[in-house]
Amino acid sequence: MTRLTGKRTLVTGGTSGIGLETARQFLAEGARVAVTGTNPATIEAARAELGPDVLVIRADAGDAAGQTAVADAVARVFGGLDAVFVNAGVADFRPLDQWDEAGFDRSVAVNLKGPLFLVRALLPILANPASIVLNTSINAHIGMPNSSVYALTKAGLLSLARSLSGELIGRGIRVNAVSPGPIATPLHHKFGLSEADRAAMAAGILGQIPAGRFGDPSEIAKAVVFLASDESAFTVGGELIIDGGMSTL
């Protein structure tokens, strides 16, 4: 496929899960690709898999000031950007009485503050036309127990997509969102749960999905490819919900 031929692209959190699969599909569609990540092990694994032509940047998605360094690195190598998938995020699920200020601040920094300051830092190098896709979540729409902080950050990110779509379209920059439901990625192994508790959590979630399964990262990546490509040139401020029907219950 050649839908992204010649396009310069950036995928944050592109060294694992949905981000890594999106980077793969961007490459398959002919794009030049840069990815960011924080984990040295996944960074090296992604570098080995994606190949020497992919720009791999170590960056903390929650460090507002550090987003300028990401933009500078991309500018040095690519000169500019045509599409950005703002994907890096943290999923911290806790009962309300177990939240503390440090955990709250970290979730807000990674899922909301970092993305805003990344987009700000990238503005000078975004082409006209360009596409920005924000990875939000079905949790922005549903009341799932223990998801209070995660849901509010993703709802804020979805609101940001709508607001920026109106603010930036005059510069030729389209902003849209994807809102995945439960996806089978390594993210679920970062909740700090035992194997038994993780299995119980997965079974409980599965029972809420009419499609009867978790989504595959490729199903999100394909939607992002569409929104990054010229095929979606008239899609502005939109949201693609990809949740197996979970939000219809």
Residues with catalytic function: 150
- Other Cβ atoms closer than 10 A to 123: 12
Q: Is there a contact between 59 and 66 (Cβ–Cβ < 8 Å)?
A: yes
Q: Which residues of 63-92 are buried (b: 16+ CB within 10 A; e: fewer)?
A: bbebbeebbebbeeebeebbbbbbbbbbbb
CB 47 within 8 A of CB 70: no
Between helix 17-28 and helix 217-228 the angle, nearest 10°, is: 50
Question: Measuring CA to CA, how many Å separate 166 from each of 40, 88, 105, 171, 236?
Answer: 37, 23, 28, 10, 8
